[in-house]
């Protein structure tokens, strides 16, 4: 859908900062899209981009297998900014020379700048973030060198007439002192962008387009109570009202009070057609006797699809299916030879054969924090908008080993206490994810004058920005102390509480 007046292309050469570049561009109020490096030139031309950014990447331009784009991309008359590998690729494609250095320049680097489109108005020296071994040793014809560091003779180069710009460092990371300004200079000065991309215009435009697509047809949405599916459902509801039916499958693996809360918000506050399917018994039956993590995940995923199909059948013909797919899902599913560590699933993994006319995915172009901004704007309550991530298989992967109703009840209570204490300490926005785990270990304790032989609960809390890597959160001891005291005193069946101090990697955030 057309959601912006002007847009920029981020051409992905495999760099780990690709999505970060896109985020930073959007912070400059310029809408942008990520496409793979092999995107055909004709497609790029047809999209009418105002600028193109070549990302970094782990390769060397002289390796045969390294990702490249055709040189014609540079000749489209669209301003181009190359970053790191992207800078070297620009030099290579235009006849300059890239060489391997003996020293790897990595981390914070004092860099000096000369005036030019990217750097005019900035101090002559500042810190940039470098991460490279290769460097541009000879600039292509027509370029001038506009920045240097001690180890890097061409930390930046420009060909202002052709509107080609290249930086060896990473302007997108926060350690580069004037990184954001440098990106702004490229977008505003070189590309002529106005920077008028706003989330409010997004919501209005999305509602208008959903209405146009759906007309008076029916839409069906699987609501999980997570941020993405909630925001998607509310947008569609604004567009088509009662022609939207949401199905909320309560698999009994939710946190304390969560199911009722979702029902209250969507049925009462938003007055939506909501079907809550109480499928707790079915899921528990499928989980009986299953203790292997992947089998648990599979059993839940399959049962979820079955319940959903049954509900869909009851409703008769479905015209459109609404899903809360967001941009990182789209980009990540486009790549991916990565090893399967865990088979993640959520309501995104719905059957494609239930016979609907089309998919409505209003958040396909947004990053998570943008989805949250839209959510707040639509009046979704803040606790839901800021809800921490919760895995599709729910508490089943936090009860280690076989899942039973009794174990789930113990875990739900312990988890609720931990969440209450984190919120009371004002840590709920700084800690990225926090929860309790029933470890399956039974331990001896003493309560009153008697011996107990009960459950060991682990507390897990992490900080992370992308959930790919994570560090354990340094929660103050007094918060841990209070949580531990409350859990052993208030939750029957728990006599030891542990705090997990492993990062990811080597651990993962969830235990199964
Ligand atoms: P791991 O445990 O792989 O988790 O370090 C990374 C993030 O993903 C969440 N997670 C899931 N989310 N469906 C989801 O929607 C799943 O099956 C699933 N498994 C893990 C996890 O909570 C963490 O935020």
CA distance 417 to 423: 10
Cis peptide, bond prior to residue 506, ω within 30 of zero: yes
189 Cβ partners below 8 Å, 6+ apart?
117, 118
Contact at 8 Å (CB) between 323 and 360? yes
Within this chain, do residues 205 and 307 fall inside the same structural domain, yes or no? yes
Residue-level pLDDT at 337 = 38
Cβ 226 under 6 angstroms from ligand 1: no
Cβ 168 under 6 angstroms from ligand 1: no
pLDDT higher than 60, residue 478 = yes
CA distance 322 to 415: 31
**Which residue would you say has higher pLDDT here, 216 or 174?**
216
Q: Is the dihedral of CA 333, 338, 340, 342 positive or negative?
A: negative
Within this chain, do residues 21 and 158 fall inside the same structural domain, yes or no? yes
- The residue whose CA has the least distance to atom 24 of ligand 1 is 389
* CATH code: domain of residue 259: 3.40.50.620
Query: Which of 132, 170, 237, 345 is labelled catalytic?
Result: 170
Could you tell me if residue 448 is inside a domain?
Answer: yes
| Candidate from 349, 389, 431 with most ligand 1 atoms within 8 A of CB, to mutate | 389
Which of 223-237, 330-344, 398-412, 463-477 is predicted with the least confidence, judged by mean pLDDT?
330-344
pLDDT tier at 299 (50, 70, 90 boundaries)? very high
Helix, strand or coil, per DSSP, at residue 351: coil
Within this chain, do residues 285 and 431 fall inside the same structural domain, yes or no? no
Q: How many CB atoms lie within 10 A of CB 493?
A: 17
Residue-level pLDDT at 352 = 56
pTM assigned to the model:
0.75
Residue-level pLDDT at 198 = 83
How far is ligand 1, taken at its centre, from the CA of residue 297, in Å?
11
Domain span including residue 109: 7-190
Q: Would you give the distance in Å from CA 230 to the centre of its chain?
A: 16
Could you tell me if residue 2 is inside a domain?
Answer: no
Q: Of 354, 135, 379, 392, which Cα lies nearest the Cα of 271? A: 379
User: What does the block give as tokens for 213?
Assistant: 């697509």
H-type alpha helices, 79-153: 85-93
Q: Of 20, 74, 19, which Cα lies nearest the Cα of 45? A: 74
How far is ligand 1, taken at its centre, from the CA of residue 238, in Å?
30
Which of 48-62, 69-83, 313-327, 489-503 is predicted with the least confidence, judged by mean pLDDT?
313-327
User: What does the block give as tokens for 265?
Assistant: 């918000």
Residue-level pLDDT at 256 = 97
CA distance 348 to 202: 22
Within this chain, do residues 358 and 417 fall inside the same structural domain, yes or no? no
Count of domains forming the chain: 3
Residue-level pLDDT at 82 = 98
Which of 294-303, 325-334, 405-414 is predicted with the least confidence, judged by mean pLDDT?
325-334
Within this chain, do residues 165 and 203 fall inside the same structural domain, yes or no? no
CA distance 112 to 127: 9
Could you tell me if residue 294 is inside a domain?
Answer: yes
Q: Which of 140, 171, 190 is the last residue in one of the domains?
A: 190
How far is ligand 1, taken at its centre, from the CA of residue 278, in Å?
24
User: What does the block give as tokens for 323?
Assistant: 């899903």
Mean pLDDT confidence for 455-484: 94
Q: Which of 337, 363, 385 is the last residue in one of the domains?
A: 385
Mean pLDDT confidence for 151-168: 97
Q: Active-site residue 170, yes or no?
A: yes
CA distance 15 to 335: 12
Which of 29-33, 40-44, 115-119, 454-458 is predicted with the least confidence, judged by mean pLDDT?
29-33
Q: CA geometry: angle at 18 spanning 12 and 23, to 5°?
A: 130
Give the percent of the chain with pLDDT over 90. Answer: 76
* Max avg pLDDT among 103-107, 158-162, 333-337, 468-472: 158-162
- The residue whose CA has the least distance to atom 4 of ligand 1 is 509
Mean pLDDT confidence for 263-278: 95
Q: Active-site residue 159, yes or no?
A: no
pLDDT tier at 341 (50, 70, 90 boundaries)? low
pLDDT higher than 70, residue 346 = no
């Amino acid at each position: 859908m057309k959601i912006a007046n002007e847009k920029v292309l981020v051409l992905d050469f495999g760099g780990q900062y690709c999505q970060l570049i896109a985020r930073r561009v959007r912070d400059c109020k310029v809408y942008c899209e990520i496409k793979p490096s092999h995107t055909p030139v004709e497609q790029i031309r047809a999209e009418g981009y105002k600028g193109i950014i070549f990302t970094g990447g782990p390769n060397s331009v002289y390796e045969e297998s390294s990702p490249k784009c055709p040189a014609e991309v540079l000749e489209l008359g669209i301003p181009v900014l190359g970053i790191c590998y992207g800078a070297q690729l620009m030099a290579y494609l235009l006849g300059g020379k890239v060489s391997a250095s003996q020293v790897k320049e990595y981390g914070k680097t004092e860099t000096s700048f000369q005036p030019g489109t990217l750097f005019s108005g900035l101090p002559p020296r500042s810190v940039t973030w470098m991460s490279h071994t290769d460097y541009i040793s000879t600039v292509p014809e027509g370029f001038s060198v506009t920045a240097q560091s001690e180890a890097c003779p061409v930390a930046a180069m420009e060909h202002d007439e052709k509107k080609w710009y290249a930086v060896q460092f990473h302007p997108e990371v926060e350690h580069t002192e004037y990184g954001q300004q440098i990106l702004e200079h490229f977008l505003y000065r070189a590309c002529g962008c106005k920077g008028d991309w706003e989330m409010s215009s997004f919501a209005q435009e999305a509602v208008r387009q959903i209405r146009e697509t759906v007309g008076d047809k029916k839409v069906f949405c699987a609501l999980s109570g997570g941020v993405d599916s909630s925001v998607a459902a509310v947008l569609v509801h604004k567009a088509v009202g009662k022609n939207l039916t949401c199905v909320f499958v309560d698999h009994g693996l939710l946190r304390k009070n969560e199911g009722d809360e979702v029902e209250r918000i969507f049925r009462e506050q938003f007055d939506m057609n909501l079907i809550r399917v109480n499928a707790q018994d079915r899921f528990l039956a499928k989980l009986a006797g299953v203790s292997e993590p992947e089998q648990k995940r599979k059993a839940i995923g399959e049962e979820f699809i079955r319940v959903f199909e049954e509900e869909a059948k009851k409703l008769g013909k479905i015209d459109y299916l609404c899903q809360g797919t967001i941009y990182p899902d789209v980009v990540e599913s486009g790549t991916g030879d990565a090893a399967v560590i865990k088979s993640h699933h959520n309501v995104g993994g719905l059957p494609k054969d239930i016979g609907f006319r089309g998919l409505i995915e209003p958040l396909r172009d947004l990053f998570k924090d943008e989805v949250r901004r839209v959510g707040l704007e639509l009046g979704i309550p803040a606790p839901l908008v800021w809800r921490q991530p919760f895995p599709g298989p729910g508490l089943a992967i936090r009860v280690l080993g076989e899942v039973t109703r009794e174990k789930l009840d113990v875990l739900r209570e312990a988890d609720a206490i931990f969440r209450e204490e984190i919120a009371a300490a004002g840590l709920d926005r700084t800690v990225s994810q926090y929860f309790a785990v029933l470890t399956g270990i039974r331990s001896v304790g003493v309560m009153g004058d008697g011996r107990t032989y009960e459950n060991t609960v682990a507390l897990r809390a992490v900080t992370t920005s992308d959930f790919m890597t994570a560090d354990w959160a340094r929660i103050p001891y007094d918060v841990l102390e209070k949580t531990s005291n409350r859990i052993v005193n208030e939750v029957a069946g728990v006599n030891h509480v542990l705090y997990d101090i492993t990062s990811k990697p080597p651990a993962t955030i969830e235990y199964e």
